[in-house]
Amino acid sequence: MKDVYALHNIVDDVHFPFDPAAYSRFKFGDGAAAEAFGAALAAGFIATYGNRLSENDQLVVVPSPYTSIPTASYYMTVAFIKVLNRFLCMNGYNPAETTKIHRFKTYSIDYGALDMESRKALIINDKYHMDKEFLYGKTLIFMDDIRITGSHELIIRNLLQRYELDNTAYFLYYAQLLNSNIHPNIENKLNYYSVHSLQSLESVICSPAFRFNTRVVKYLLHAPFAEYEQLLMKQTPAFLQELADCCISNNYYQMEEYRKNAFFLFDHLQKIIPSWQSICKKENEPILNYQNSQLA
């Protein structure tokens, strides 16, 4: 059995059954929104499927695939697991386990703006890995924030088939598109509903609940340089270091679209944090800085 469950169904491209402004903030790192979405999704899942669960089931909750930097839905998944585990505990069941689908490719194209065929063409060459032995015989819960065309779900279904995993599985979403007359780029409308500039992003990243994710890192690195520089100068060293570490871990600094902003960040960190000088300096070479990087 492989069921699809969404807390909200989108049938209109103007009126949504959830707060689109909160959803947009969630996509750009609002941890409070992620917490609320995850808790609500868990409550809906338990109300719908709780009576199917038993002490013989070992649940494994799997967030959407990522390389190094989590997606926004990862933080929703963390909140989901907390609420689910409370239910499992109160019913004498084992807590859910977690694992990761490893993703070995990243791109700068805004997936939410694409139609169905373009989405399929983009992700067809992506490479993924799951731990077959760990998952064998367990009940799987695959999480994502929104289902528009089902392309990513199809990838996971194909992975299960390739690994010969005939497990009971649930595909869970905060929302799904049910109106085929609505273009898939409705996803972009939701993504940028309230966060559509660095100015509108600033209130999100200044919140104590802010969490870095792939979208916000790419958005910052691809922003107009003057606005990006102005925003960065307002941030704490801890924020700047985490942004730089995200940039490095996903190899964004090697991508042409992000290179200028990435190396400006590295150069600035070398000036304010001594340890970054030794990290960025290559043997028998001058310290790498933004000006030098333009010659590469």
DSSP states of 202-234: HHHHTSTTB---HHHHHHHHTS-HHHHHHHHTT
pLDDT category, 114, cuts 50, 70, 90?
low
Confirm whether 179 is domain-assigned. yes
Same domain, 79 and 171: yes
Nearest to 138 by CA among 61, 77, 52, 47: 61
Confirm whether 100 is domain-assigned. yes
**Residue 279 pLDDT exceeds 90:** no
Same domain, 171 and 241: no
Do residues 186 and 13 lie in contact, with contact meaning Cβ atoms separated by under 8 Å?
Answer: yes
CA separation, residue 210 to residues 26, 196, 237, 239, 269 (Å): 9, 17, 15, 10, 21
Q: What is the pLDDT of residue 121?
A: 58
pLDDT category, 72, cuts 50, 70, 90?
very high
Each residue's pLDDT tens digit, 165-195: 999 999 999 999 999 999 999 999 999 999 9
Same domain, 165 and 242: no
Same domain, 136 and 250: no
Same domain, 271 and 179: no
Q: What is the pLDDT of residue 112?
A: 47
Instruction: In whole angstroms, give the CA distance from residue 188 to residue 110.
Output: 8
Same domain, 34 and 142: yes
pLDDT category, 116, cuts 50, 70, 90?
low
Average pLDDT over residues 84-101: 97
Instruction: Give the residue numbers spanning the domain of 147.
Output: 2-191
**Residue 135 pLDDT exceeds 80:** yes
Confirm whether 15 is domain-assigned. yes
- In order, the DSSP letters of 141-187 are EEEEEEESS-HHHHHHHHHHHHTT----EEEEEEEEE--TTS-TTHH
Residue 99, SS3? coil
- In order, the DSSP letters of 47-69 are HHHGGG--TT--EEEEPPPBSSS
Q: Which residue has the higher pLDDT, 184 or 283?
A: 184
Report the chain's mean pLDDT, rounded to a whole number.
Answer: 90
Each residue's pLDDT tens digit, 212-266: 999 999 999 999 999 999 999 999 999 999 999 999 999 999 999 999 999 999 9
**Residue 270 pLDDT exceeds 90:** yes
Q: For the stretch 137-166, what's the b/e string if a residue is b when 16 or more beta carbons lie within 10 angstroms of its beta carbon?
A: ebbbbbbbbbbbbbbbbebbeebbeebebe
Q: What is the pLDDT of residue 159?
A: 92
Whose structure tokens read 């990290």? 279
Percentage of the chain beyond pLDDT 70 is 86
Confirm whether 276 is domain-assigned. yes
Q: What is the pLDDT of residue 151?
A: 87
Q: What is the pLDDT of residue 287?
A: 43
Q: What is the pLDDT of residue 291?
A: 44
Number of domains in the chain: 2
Lowest pLDDT segment from 11-25, 136-150, 188-202, 282-296? 282-296
**Residue 120 pLDDT exceeds 70:** no
Same domain, 179 and 257: no
Confirm whether 117 is domain-assigned. yes
Instruction: In whole angstroms, give the CA distance from residue 34 to residue 290.
Output: 35
Nearest to 41 by CA among 171, 210, 212, 160: 171
Q: Which residue has the higher pLDDT, 119 or 182?
A: 182
Same domain, 111 and 227: no
pLDDT category, 127, cuts 50, 70, 90?
confident
Whose structure tokens read 């060459």? 125
Of the spans 54-58, 66-70, 153-157, 171-175, which averages the highest pLDDT?
Answer: 171-175
Same domain, 151 and 235: no
Average pLDDT over residues 280-296: 44
Task: Please say which residue of 173, 191, 209 terminates a domain.
Answer: 191
